[in-house]
């Protein structure tokens, strides 16, 4: 605790850098996972293959994956960024598939029967109806990403991981605690905010 | 060209892996402005037959003509925008207001916002819901009966040439159902909309139908006016279905029928 009290500006700067890394990675991850999930949602065989593959990827220990990515991309922000995008795919795509498949069949039948094309049914009915579940996926992915992003400190990226790994090297437990605590608080805040968005989406879209 | 609004000619549907045809060689005409009820137990093919008209189900043999044109000659999306569709589960879009739900087909057809608003109010009044109170509600704020009224209004929104209804009142309680039946009758007679109405409820068929098509195992058992099916059943199945010989049943339904048509 005393590290945060003594260096509030540094902890804050690293927290902001941490959030930037996670947010940027999530935006890119969503841009990949959402189209993938939408394509797979209507094709059960493709969906089980896709989620199986992404699920397998998700089980690779993050440190091992990071080691491979460092071989490919070198030190710096690239390997951790790629790792975050890859890990998020499973939770994002899974919730897109589950969200679309969970849409009330009567609404889809009505949409088609009234004369919406497939893409109109998707845009006007299925995506709005699936949005709360999709936001739920973003929330879970964001929390995981905040934790995994601390490994960035190990491969030379700025963020809260810097405190944790410098603390380990310097045997400064107060730095380790400060980094971990700040990351936990970030995760809790982001979780609460996205839960709020999710609940709001549920009431608006109900 | 024929003068029928909808003509089924040897219509046949077999679902993949099924051991018999879901709809088996069905032929009959629906006249313009007529209300035809497809009646039969679940699994008799009545909903499947209904859904061949707007091409939600494809025929494996035979044809369906819609106002003289084979339905397969039209783009399915275009075709459906000219045919109202209302189902038991209603399927109101949960994220849209009542007004937006009713305005769906007009908006797909590119009507102006002003035209859609006016039409929504007109339709809400037609189904006996106060526009001022209901247009901005969400589907979850409606009772079952109210939701079904909105479903009917949505089906009629773009002045379709025909209306397909798949057990629309099957999930509402008996009192509300009677009310909805009366209003449906009033509306389709007022608009002179050709209607095919699917139900498994014999009483409902007797009250609503100009013509009843009694179906069993994908085939038509008998077609005729309600009085004819009551008086001259052509098979044991139809005899049992319509309680033939029960004079009281016959009198009761023929009485309520005519009473519903006078009011």
pLDDT tens, residue by residue, B236-258: 999 999 988 888 999 999 999 99
In angstroms, the CA B216 to CA B42 distance is: 9
Cβ count near B115 (within 10 Å): 14
State the nearest Cα–Cα gap between A96 and chain B, in angstroms: 18
Over range B76-88, report the average pLDDT.
96
Inform me whether the pLDDT recorded for B263 exceeds 80: no
Inform me whether the pLDDT recorded for B1 exceeds 70: no
Cβ–Cβ < 8 Å for B47, B54: no
Chain B neighbors of A114, CB-CB under 8 A: 80-81, 85, 104-105, 108, 154-155
In angstroms, the CA B37 to CA B165 distance is: 9
Burial classification of residue A63, based on how many CB atoms lie within 10 Å of its CB (0-12 exposed, 13-18 middle, 19 or more buried):
exposed
Inform me whether the pLDDT recorded for B196 exceeds 60: yes
**Residue keyed to tokens 């310097």:** A170
pLDDT tens, residue by residue, B153-180: 999 999 999 999 999 998 888 888 998 9
| Side-chain half-sphere CA neighbours of B208 within 13 A | 34
Query: Which of A105, A106, A110 to mutate: most B Cβ within 10 Å?
Result: A110
Closest CA in chain A for residue B109: A115
Low-confidence residues of chain A: pLDDT under 70:
1, 206
Judge whether A206 is closer than 8 Å to chain B, CB to CB.
Answer: yes
Over range B49-54, report the average pLDDT.
97
Q: Do A115 and B81 touch (CB under 8 A)?
A: yes
Q: What is the pLDDT of residue A204?
A: 81
Single pTM value for the model? 0.89
Cβ–Cβ < 8 Å for B127, B69: no
Closest by CA position to A92, among listed A41, A151, A152, A136: A136
Chain B neighbors of A129, CB-CB under 8 A: 93-95
Instruction: Indicate the pLDDT class of residue B119, thresholds 50, 70 and 90.
Output: very high
Judge whether B87 is closer than 8 Å to chain A, CB to CB.
Answer: yes
Closest CA in chain A for residue B92: A107
Q: What is the pLDDT of residue A1?
A: 57
Provide the H-helix boundaries in chain B.
46-53, 76-81, 98-102, 104-108, 113-126, 131-134, 144-156, 174-191, 202-208, 226-231, 236-241, 247-262
Burial classification of residue B42, based on how many CB atoms lie within 10 Å of its CB (0-12 exposed, 13-18 middle, 19 or more buried):
exposed
What is the value of ipTM here, to two decimals?
A: 0.90
Q: What are phi and psi of A182, to 5 degrees?
A: -60, -40
Q: What is the pLDDT of residue A76?
A: 87
Chain B neighbors of A106, CB-CB under 8 A: 87, 89-91
Inform me whether the pLDDT recorded for B54 exceeds 90: yes
Q: Can you identify the CATH homologous superfamily of domain A2-205?
A: MetI-like (1.10.3720.10)
Judge whether B14 is closer than 8 Å to chain A, CB to CB.
Answer: no
Instruction: Indicate the pLDDT class of residue B261, thresholds 50, 70 and 90.
Output: confident
Inform me whether the pLDDT recorded for B2 exceeds 70: no
State the nearest Cα–Cα gap between B170 and chain A, in angstroms: 14
In angstroms, the CA B98 to CA B102 distance is: 6
List all residues 6 or more positions away from A128 whose beta carbon is below 8 Å from its beta carbon: A205, B93, B95
Q: Following DSSP, what letter does each residue of A27-76 receive, concatenated?
A: HHHHHHHHHHHHHHHT-HHHHHHHHHHHHHHHHS-HHHHHHHHHHHH-SS
Judge whether A118 is closer than 8 Å to chain B, CB to CB.
Answer: no
Query: Which of A114, A117, A118, A125 to mutate: most B Cβ within 10 Å?
Result: A114
Structural domain boundaries in chain A: 2-205
Q: What is the pLDDT of residue B217?
A: 94
Q: Which helix (H) or strand (E) holds B196?
A: strand B194-199
pLDDT tens, residue by residue, B4-36: 999 999 999 999 989 999 999 999 999 999 999
- Nearest-CB residue to B95 (from A106, A108, A129): A129
Chain A neighbors of B108, CB-CB under 8 A: 114-116, 120
Q: What is the pLDDT of residue A41?
A: 93
Enter the tokens of residue B187. 């509306």
Q: Do A106 and B140 touch (CB under 8 A)?
A: no
Over range B54-68, report the average pLDDT.
96
Provide the H-helix boundaries in A149-205.
161-170, 173-205
State the nearest Cα–Cα gap between B75 and chain A, in angstroms: 10
Closest CA in chain A for residue B157: A114
Enter the tokens of residue A156. 């030379």
Inform me whether the pLDDT recorded for B109 exceeds 90: yes
């Amino acid at each position: 605790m005393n590290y945060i009290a003594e260096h509030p500006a540094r902890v804050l700067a690293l927290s902001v850098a941490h959030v930037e890394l996670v947010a940027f990675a999530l935006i890119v991850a969503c841009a990949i996972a959402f189209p993938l999930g939408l394509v797979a949602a209507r094709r059960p065989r493709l969906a089980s293959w896709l989620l199986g593959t992404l699920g397998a990827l998700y089980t690779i220990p993050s440190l091992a994956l990071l080691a491979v990515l460092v071989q490919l991309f070198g030190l710096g922000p690239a390997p951790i960024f790629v790792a975050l995008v890859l890990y998020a795919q499973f939770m994002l795509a899974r919730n897109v598939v589950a969200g679309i498949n969970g849409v009330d069949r009567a609404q889809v039948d009505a949409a088609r029967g009234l004369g919406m094309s497939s893409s109109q049914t998707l845009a006007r009915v299925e995506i709005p109806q699936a949005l709360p579940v999709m936001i739920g996926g973003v929330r879970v992915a964001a929390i995981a990403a905040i934790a995994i992003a601390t490994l960035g400190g190990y491969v030379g990226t700025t963020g809260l991981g810097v405190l944790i790994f410098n603390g380990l090297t310097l045997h400064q437990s107060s730095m380790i605690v400060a980094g971990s605590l700040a990351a936990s608080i970030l995760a809790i805040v982001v979780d609460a905010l996205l839960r709020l968005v999710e609940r709001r989406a549920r009431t608006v879209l109900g | 060209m024929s003068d029928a609004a909808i003509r089924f000619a040897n219509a046949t549907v077999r679902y993949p892996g099924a051991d018999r045809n879901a709809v088996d060689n069905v032929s009959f005409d629906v006249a313009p402005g007529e209300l035809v009820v497809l009646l039969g137990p679940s699994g008799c093919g009545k909903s499947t037959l209904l859904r061949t008209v707007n091409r939600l189900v494809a025929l494996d043999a035979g044809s369906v003509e819609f106002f003289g044109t084979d339905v397969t000659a039209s783009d399915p999306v275009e075709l459906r925008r000219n045919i109202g569709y209302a189902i038991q589960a209603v399927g109101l879009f949960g994220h849209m207001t009542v007004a937006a739900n009713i305005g769906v087909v007009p908006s797909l057809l590119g009507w102006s916002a002003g035209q859609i608003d006016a039409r929504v109010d007109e339709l809400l009044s037609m189904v006996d819901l106060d526009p001022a109170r209901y247009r901005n509600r969400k589907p979850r704020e409606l009772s079952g009966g109210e939701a079904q009224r909105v479903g009917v209004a949505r089906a009629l929104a773009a002045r379709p040439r025909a209306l397909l209804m798949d057990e629309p009142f099957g999930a509402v309680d008996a009192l509300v159902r009677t009310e909805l039946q009366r209003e449906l009758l009033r509306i389709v007679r007022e608009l002179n909309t050709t209607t095919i109405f699917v139900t498994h409820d014999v009483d409902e068929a007797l009250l609503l139908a100009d013509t009843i098509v009694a179906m069993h195992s994908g085939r038509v058992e008998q077609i005729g006016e309600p009085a004819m099916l009551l008086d001259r059943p052509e098979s044991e199945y139809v005899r049992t279905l319509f309680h033939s010989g029960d004079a009281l049943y016959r009198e009761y339904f023929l009485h309520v029928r005519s009473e519903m048509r006078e009011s």
